[in-house]
Structure 1
Amino acid sequence: MKHLTLAVAALAMIAAPVSAKTDPYAPASFEGVKHPAWSQKAVIYQINTRQFTPAGTIKAAEAQLARLKALGVDILWLMPVQPIGVTNRKGTLGSPYSIRDYRAVNPELGTMAELKAFVAAAHAQGMHVVLDWVANHTSWDNALVTQHPDWYEHDWQGKMHPTPWWDWSDIVDLNYARPGLRRYMEESMLMFVREAGIDGFRCDVAGYVPPDFWAKVRRDAGAIRPVWMLAEWGQRDLHMSAFDASYGWDWAKPLMAIGQGRGDVSGLFGYFSENESAWPSGAQRMVFTSNHDENSWAGTEYERYGPALTNATVLQFTGEGIPLIYNGQEAANDRRLIFFERDPIVWKEAPQRADYQRLIALRDAHPALWNAPWGARMVHVVNSEPAKVFSFVRAKGGDAVLVAQNYSAAGITATLDAVPYPGDWREEGGATVKLDKGSSLTIAPWTSRIFTRRF
Structure 2
Amino acid sequence: MKKIFSILLLQFLVFSYSFCQTATTSKTKNELINGHPAWISQGNIYEVNVRQYTPEGTLNAFAKHLDRLKKMGVQTIWFMPINPISKVDRKGSLGSYYAVSDYTALNPEFGTIADFKQVVLSIHNKGMKVIIDWVPNHTGADNRWLTEQPDFFVKDSSGKAATAFDWADTKQLNYKNPVLQDSMITAMKFWISNTGIDGFRCDVAWNVPAAFWRKCIPQLKSMKNIFMLAEGDSAYLPESGFDAVYPWHMFKMMEQIAKGERPAFGIDSIKHESDKMYPANTIQMYFTSNHDENSWNHADYGTFPGAVHEPFAVFTQTMANSVPLIYGGQEEPVLRALKFFDKDPMTFDQLKRAAFYKTLLNLRKRNMALAAGASFKKLNVGDDRAVYAFVREKGKQKVLVILNLSNTPQPITIKEKTLWGKPYNVFMGTKEPLTGSEWNIEPWGYVVYEYN
TM-score (norm 2): 0.88
Given that 1:258 and 1:308 are in contact with CA atoms closer than 8 Å, whether structure 2 keeps it comes out as: no
Given that 2:301 and 2:336 are in contact with CA atoms closer than 8 Å, whether structure 1 keeps it comes out as: no
Where does the alignment leave 5 or more consecutive residues of structure 2 unmatched? 1-31
Greater displacement, 399-408 / 415-424: 415-424
In the TM superposition, 1:88-107 aligns within 5 A as 88-107=89-108
Structure 2 distance, partners of 1:430, 1:199, is: 37
Greater displacement, 301-310 / 155-164: 155-164
Q: Which residue of structure 2 lines up, in the alignment, with residue 66 of structure 1? A: 67
**Is 1:396 the equivalent of 2:394?**
yes
- Pick closer, same or farther for the CA change 1:432–1:33 going to 2, 3 Å: closer
Given that 1:255 and 1:308 are in contact with CA atoms closer than 8 Å, whether structure 2 keeps it comes out as: no
List per-residue Cα deviations over 1:327-363 (Å, max 9, x = no partner).
Answer: 1111111011100001111212233000000111111
**Is 1:335 the equivalent of 2:333?**
no
**Amino acid of the structure 2 residue aligned with 1:414:** I
Q: Which residue of structure 2 lines up, in the alignment, with residue 313 of structure 1? A: 313
Structure 1 distance, partners of 2:120, 2:292, is: 24
* Residue 143 (structure 1) shift: 1.6
Given that 1:33 and 1:241 are in contact with CA atoms closer than 8 Å, whether structure 2 keeps it comes out as: no
Greater displacement, 210-219 / 387-396: 210-219
Q: Which residue of structure 2 lines up, in the alignment, with residue 134 of structure 1? A: 135
Structure 2 distance, partners of 1:175, 1:271, is: 34
**Is 1:234 the equivalent of 2:223?**
no
* Residue 424 (structure 1) shift: 4.5
- Pick closer, same or farther for the CA change 1:369–1:33 going to 2, 3 Å: closer
**Amino acid of the structure 1 residue aligned with 2:293:** E
**Is 1:367 the equivalent of 2:390?**
no
**Is 1:147 the equivalent of 2:145?**
no
- Secondary structure, in 3 states, of the residue corresponding to 2:130? strand
- Secondary structure, in 3 states, of the residue corresponding to 1:390? strand
**Amino acid of the structure 2 residue aligned with 1:433:** P
* Residue 316 (structure 1) shift: 1.3
Q: Which residue of structure 2 lines up, in the alignment, with residue 304 of structure 1? A: 303
Q: Which residue of structure 2 lines up, in the alignment, with residue 21 of structure 1? A: none
Q: Which residue of structure 2 lines up, in the alignment, with residue 180 of structure 1? A: 179
Structure 1 distance, partners of 2:404, 2:396, is: 27
Q: Which residue of structure 1 lines up, in the alignment, with residue 189 of structure 2? A: 190
Structure 1 distance, partners of 2:224, 2:159, is: 42
Q: Which residue of structure 1 lines up, in the alignment, with residue 448 of structure 2? A: 450
Given that 1:426 and 1:433 are in contact with CA atoms closer than 8 Å, whether structure 2 keeps it comes out as: no
**Amino acid of the structure 2 residue aligned with 1:378:** F
Q: Which residue of structure 2 lines up, in the alignment, with residue 212 of structure 1? A: 211
Given that 2:41 and 2:323 are in contact with CA atoms closer than 8 Å, whether structure 1 keeps it comes out as: no
Q: Which residue of structure 2 lines up, in the alignment, with residue 377 of structure 1? A: 375
* Residue 416 (structure 1) shift: 4.0
Greater displacement, 329-338 / 257-266: 257-266
- Secondary structure, in 3 states, of the residue corresponding to 2:51? helix
* Residue 439 (structure 1) shift: 4.3
Q: Which residue of structure 1 lines up, in the alignment, with residue 25 of structure 2? A: none
Structure 1 distance, partners of 2:236, 2:201, is: 16
Given that 1:202 and 1:229 are in contact with CA atoms closer than 8 Å, whether structure 2 keeps it comes out as: yes
In the TM superposition, 1:411-450 aligns within 5 A as 411-418=409-416, 421-428=419-426, 429-435=429-435, 439-450=437-448
Structure 2 distance, partners of 1:203, 1:32, is: 22
- Pick closer, same or farther for the CA change 1:45–1:152 going to 2, 3 Å: same
Q: Which residue of structure 2 lines up, in the alignment, with residue 40 of structure 1? A: 41
* Residue 426 (structure 1) shift: 3.5
In the TM superposition, 1:2-81 aligns within 5 A as 34-81=35-82
Q: Which residue of structure 2 lines up, in the alignment, with residue 406 of structure 1? A: 404
**Amino acid of the structure 1 residue aligned with 2:90:** R
Given that 1:32 and 1:281 are in contact with CA atoms closer than 8 Å, whether structure 2 keeps it comes out as: no
**Amino acid of the structure 1 residue aligned with 2:277:** A
Given that 1:190 and 1:221 are in contact with CA atoms closer than 8 Å, whether structure 2 keeps it comes out as: yes
- Pick closer, same or farther for the CA change 1:63–1:41 going to 2, 3 Å: same
Greater displacement, 443-452 / 155-164: 155-164
List per-residue Cα deviations over 1:263-285 (Å, max 9, x = no partner).
Answer: 22022111222233432222110
Given that 1:32 and 1:282 are in contact with CA atoms closer than 8 Å, whether structure 2 keeps it comes out as: no
- Pick closer, same or farther for the CA change 1:269–1:369 going to 2, 3 Å: same
Larger radius of gyration: 2
* Residue 419 (structure 1) shift: 5.8
Given that 1:254 and 1:264 are in contact with CA atoms closer than 8 Å, whether structure 2 keeps it comes out as: no
* Residue 229 (structure 1) shift: 0.7
- Pick closer, same or farther for the CA change 1:87–1:221 going to 2, 3 Å: same
Q: Which residue of structure 1 lines up, in the alignment, with residue 18 of structure 2? A: none
> How many residue pairs were aligned?
417
Given that 2:43 and 2:364 are in contact with CA atoms closer than 8 Å, whether structure 1 keeps it comes out as: no
* Residue 433 (structure 1) shift: 2.2
**Amino acid of the structure 2 residue aligned with 1:302:** Y
**Amino acid of the structure 2 residue aligned with 1:303:** G
Q: Which residue of structure 1 lines up, in the alignment, with residue 357 of structure 2? A: 356
* Residue 32 (structure 1) shift: 10
- Secondary structure, in 3 states, of the residue corresponding to 2:433? strand
- Secondary structure, in 3 states, of the residue corresponding to 1:242? coil
Structure 2 distance, partners of 1:33, 1:396, is: 14
TM-score (norm 1): 0.88
RMSD (CA atoms): 1.8
Q: Which residue of structure 1 lines up, in the alignment, with residue 5 of structure 2? A: none
Q: Which residue of structure 2 lines up, in the alignment, with residue 257 of structure 1? A: 256
* Residue 138 (structure 1) shift: 0.8
* Residue 241 (structure 1) shift: 3.1
**Amino acid of the structure 1 residue aligned with 2:268:** F
Given that 2:154 and 2:173 are in contact with CA atoms closer than 8 Å, whether structure 1 keeps it comes out as: yes
**Amino acid of the structure 2 residue aligned with 1:199:** D
- Pick closer, same or farther for the CA change 1:419–1:364 going to 2, 3 Å: farther
Given that 1:83 and 1:105 are in contact with CA atoms closer than 8 Å, whether structure 2 keeps it comes out as: yes
Structure 1 distance, partners of 2:274, 2:181, is: 32
Given that 2:260 and 2:406 are in contact with CA atoms closer than 8 Å, whether structure 1 keeps it comes out as: no
Structure 2 distance, partners of 1:117, 1:68, is: 17
**Is 1:347 the equivalent of 2:348?**
yes
